[in-house]
Amino acid sequence: MKGQIKIIKFKSEVLKNNPLKDPYVRDILVYLPKGYTMGYSKGYPTIFLLPSFGNNNYSTLNNNPFSLTIYQILENLIERNKCVEMIIVIIDCFNRFGGSQYLNSNAIGNYKDYLVEEIVPYINSKYNISNNALLGKSSGGYGAVTIGMQHPKMFKAIAAHSFDSAFEYCYLPDFPLAYKTFKKEGGPKKWLTNFWKKENKNEKNDFTTLNILSMAAHYSPKPLIRDKIRIDLPFDLKTGELKDRIWAKWKSKDPINMIDKFKSNLKNIDLLFFDCGINDEFNLFIGTKIFSEKCKTFGIDHEYIQHDGGHFNTNFRYSTSLSKISHCLSK
């Protein structure tokens, strides 16, 4: 690696009293390109990279022998004159529910405010920055799209890979498994406690169950009572019947519905790019296609690419998103 990584221990006031009592002092990973200097008059385009579900900032680096890290991808692009030098900031929003949708939640904490009110202003004040972009995959892509559409003045570009959307296709098929698991284990609270006690936390059924519980904590949390965390599941724990009122809360957070409210904001974003694999295991190619069609209906400039891959092992797609962000932010 030709650039350098700075590790900043950031003490968050927003997360200080989070209901899960998760750490509020967290590392921010900041990649600075080889030629970085505070004296560069143009400043450096800066990408805030949001980890996917099940990952923190360190695991997002994907440091394994079969694929390049996002830093290596960027430096290869710079060498080929496909990208300008950029800063990449990777934040950590991991929590006891396994990951973040980058929302404010009574059950988890205010991770949207953590990013928008603390991290971005801090990075902007500390480094020589020109413009900001949001980038993420899966849950991170969901955060990039939903936060980006709400804050068009803060982020000039949005890029997302396989972002959560069309919830009836990506979440609903997993409800029966989560229902059976919770019923067998004596409820969500007991299951979650037992999950964190397990030596092997990588079983597929556990991941699916944790994901559904985490989404409920994000999309349908209930107000705290005497610091007690309360969550509404979208199905009845006795019968498995879908709860229409709770499901409606989930759907209100679906990007294909949120776009109706924030379409004007998206028209003020200089770059809106997203892609998805036709073989995505969570059926996200449906939601991203619907989102693209709604963008067309509303006259929102965007670019959507449907590729041949699935949901996993697609970090190579960063070469496309980084190039597009670079072109946009360096104009």
Distance of CA 79 to the CA centre of its chain: 28
Label residue 199 exposed, middle or buried (CB < 10 Å: 0-12, 13-18, 19+).
Answer: exposed
* Amino acid at residue number 100: S
Per-domain boundaries in the chain: 4-165+254-329, 169-250
Is 137 in a helix, a strand, or coil? strand
What pTM, to 2 d.p., does this model score?
Answer: 0.97
Distance CA 206, CA 210 (A): 6
Measured at the CA of 264, the angle between CA 103 and CA 48, to 5 degrees, comes to: 40
- What whole-number distance in Å separates Cα of residue 287 and Cα of residue 162? 9
Q: Show the tokens assigned to 3.
A: 């650039």
Identify whether the C-beta of residue 66 lies closer than 8 Å to the C-beta of residue 23.
no
Q: What is the DSSP string of 5-74?
A: EEEEEEE-SSSTT-TT---SEEEEEEEE-TT--TT-TT-EEEEEEEPPTT--HHHHT--BTTB--HHHHH
Given this model, what pLDDT does residue 1 score?
Answer: 85
State which residues of the chain have pLDDT below 50: none
* 74 close to 44: Cβ distance less than 8 angstroms: no
CATH superfamily of 4-165+254-329: Alpha/Beta hydrolase fold, catalytic domain (3.40.50.1820)
Give me the pLDDT at residue 264, please.
98
Residues 140, 300 contacting (CB under 8 angstroms): no
Mapped onto helix, strand or coil, the DSSP state of residue 248 is helix
Which one, of 284, 312, 21, 316, lies nearest residue 145 by Cα?
A: 284
- For tokens 């030629």, the residue is 35
Q: What is the pLDDT of residue 208?
A: 97
Measured distance CA(54)–CA(98) in Å, rounded: 5
| CA 166 – CA 285 distance, rounded (Å) | 9
**Which of the 8 DSSP states describes residue 156?**
S
The residue among 24, 42, 32 whose CA lies nearest residue 5 is: 32
Angle at 146 between CA 329 and CA 167, to 5 degrees: 135
What pLDDT is recorded for position 211?
98
